C-alpha cells in the first residue's frame, strides 16, 4: 500500500512540477528576449484545453500504434521518476533497477515519438521521426560515457558498492573521491550532460524533429486532443527527470543535515533545496541554451554529439580513470 501511494504522489508531483517548470522556462525565455511571455500557469491551461478537444486519428494512420505511442512516452518517463532520489527521499524503486535501466527508459520516449510519427502516415511526421532517431543515436553515446565514468570511479573507491545504483551514487557524492584529474574530468562530464539535456528534451537548438518552420510540427504534426496532451505531459515530466538525474549524479547534497535540522523541518529544507537546484539546472541547460542558439541542421547535430561532445565525454572518462589509478 505504501508503494502504491508513493507511486501516486510521485506521478502527480512529477506532472505538476514538469508543467510548472515549463511555465517558468517559457517566462524566463521571453524575458531574456525582451518579451512579456505567457503566464507561468499557461502549460496547465494548454493541457486542460487539449484534454477537452477531439482526438483525431488520420485515415492513413495505424490507430493502435498511433494512439499507443503517447501513452508509452508518458509511462516511460514517469517510471524513471520512481528510480530517482527526489528531495530528501530515496528512490521509490530503490533496489529494483539501476542506471542501465534508466538509460533504456530515457530512450523510450524518443522511440515512442518516432513510432507515432511513422504510424501517422504523414510525410512531415515521417521526416520528423527519422530525425528523432538520428538525434537519439547521436546523444546516447556521450550520456552513457558520463554515467560509466562515474560508476567506475565509485566502484573503485568503494569496493562492493552497487555502483550503478542511483541511490548509492546519490548517497556517496563522487566529488569526495576525486583527485585533481578526476575533478577536471567530472567538470567536463557535467558540461556534457548539460548539453545532452536540451537534446533529450528536443529543445532549441536540437528541435530538428519538430521544426515548425520546416516540418509544420514534424513528429507531432498529426497529433491533437488527448494524444497531444499526453506528449506535452511527457515532455514536462522528462524535464524534471533530466534535471533530477544530473542532481543525483553530481549534486546530491542536502542542506537539512548541514543546518542541523531533522524530521519534517529537515525534509522541507532538503526538498526546497532540491527544487532550487532543479530550477538552476533547467535555467542553464535548457532556457539559456535555447535563447542563445538557433536551430541546428541534422548533420550539425550528429557531428556535434558524435565528435566534439563524445570526445569531451571520453576525455572526462579517461581523466577519471587516470585519477583513480594515481590518486587512490
Using alpha carbons only, what angle is made at residue 144 by residues 166 and 97, rounded to the nearest 5 degrees?
35
pLDDT of residue 214: 60
pLDDT of residue 279: 93
Alpha helices per DSSP H over the chain = 2-32, 42-52, 63-81, 99-120, 123-157, 166-171, 180-200, 212-215, 225-250, 263-282, 288-292, 298-304, 310-326
Q: Rounded distance, CA 120 to CA 297, Å?
A: 24
pLDDT of residue 151: 82
Q: Rounded distance, CA 236 to CA 23, Å?
A: 10
pLDDT of residue 25: 92
pLDDT of residue 23: 93
pLDDT of residue 95: 67
pLDDT of residue 97: 67
pLDDT tens, N- to C-terminus, the chain (328 residues): 667 777 788 888 889 999 999 999 999 999 998 898 899 999 999 999 999 988 888 888 888 899 999 999 999 999 998 888 877 677 777 766 678 888 888 889 889 988 998 898 888 888 888 888 888 888 888 888 888 888 888 878 777 677 777 777 888 888 888 888 889 999 999 999 998 898 888 887 887 777 766 666 678 888 888 999 999 999 999 999 999 999 988 998 887 766 777 777 777 888 889 999 999 999 998 999 888 887 888 888 888 888 889 899 999 989 988 887 776 6
pLDDT of residue 302: 85
| Contact of 147 with 174, CB cutoff 8 Å | no
Class of residue 282 by CB neighbours under 10 A (exposed 0-12, middle 13-18, buried 19+):
buried
Q: Rounded distance, CA 302 to CA 276, Å?
A: 32
Amino acid at each position: 500500500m505504501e508503494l502504491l501511494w508513493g507511486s501516486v504522489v510521485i506521478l502527480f508531483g512529477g506532472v505538476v512540477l514538469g508543467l510548472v517548470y515549463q511555465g517558468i522556462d517559457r517566462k524566463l525565455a521571453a524575458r531574456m528576449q525582451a518579451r512579456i511571455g505567457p503566464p507561468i500557469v499557461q502549460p496547465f491551461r494548454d493541457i486542460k484545453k487539449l484534454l477537452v478537444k477531439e482526438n483525431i486519428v488520420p485515415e492513413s494512420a495505424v490507430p493502435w500504434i498511433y494512439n499507443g505511442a503517447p501513452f508509452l512516452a508518458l509511462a516511460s518517463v514517469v517510471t524513471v521518476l520512481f528510480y530517482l532520489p527526489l528531495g530528501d527521499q530515496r528512490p521509490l524503486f530503490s533496489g529494483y533497477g539501476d542506471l542501465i535501466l534508466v538509460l533504456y527508459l530515457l530512450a523510450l520516449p524518443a522511440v515512442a515519438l518516432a513510432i507515432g510519427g511513422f504510424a501517422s502516415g504523414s510525410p512531415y511526421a515521417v521526416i520528423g521521426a527519422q530525425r528523432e532517431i538520428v538525434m537519439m543515436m547521436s546523444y546516447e553515446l556521450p550520456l552513457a560515457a558520463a554515467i560509466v565514468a562515474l560508476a567506475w570511479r565509485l566502484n573503485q573507491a568503494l569496493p562492493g558498492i552497487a555502483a550503478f545504483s542511483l541511490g548509492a551514487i546519490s548517497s556517496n557524492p563522487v566529488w569526495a573521491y576525486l583527485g585533481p584529474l578526476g575533478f577536471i574530468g567530472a567538470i567536463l562530464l557535467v558540461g556534457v550532460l548539460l548539453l545532452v539535456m536540451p537534446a533529450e528534451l528536443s529543445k532549441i537548438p536540437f528541435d530538428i524533429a519538430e521544426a515548425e518552420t520546416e516540418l509544420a510540427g514534424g513528429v507531432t504534426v498529426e497529433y491533437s486532443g488527448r494524444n497531444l496532451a499526453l506528449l506535452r505531459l511527457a515532455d514536462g515530466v522528462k524535464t524534471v527527470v533530466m534535471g533530477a538525474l544530473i542532481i543525483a549524479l553530481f549534486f546530491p547534497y542536502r542542506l537539512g543535515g548541514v543546518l542541523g535540522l531533522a524530521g519534517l523541518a529537515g525534509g522541507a529544507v532538503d526538498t526546497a533545496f532540491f527544487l532550487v537546484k532543479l530550477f538552476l539546472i533547467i535555467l542553464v541547460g535548457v532556457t539559456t541554451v535555447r535563447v542563445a542558439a538557433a536551430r541546428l541542421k541534422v548533420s550539425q547535430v550528429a557531428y556535434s554529439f558524435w565528435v566534439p561532445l563524445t570526445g569531451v565525454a571520453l576525455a572526462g572518462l579517461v581523466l577519471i580513470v587516470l585519477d583513480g589509478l594515481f590518486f587512490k
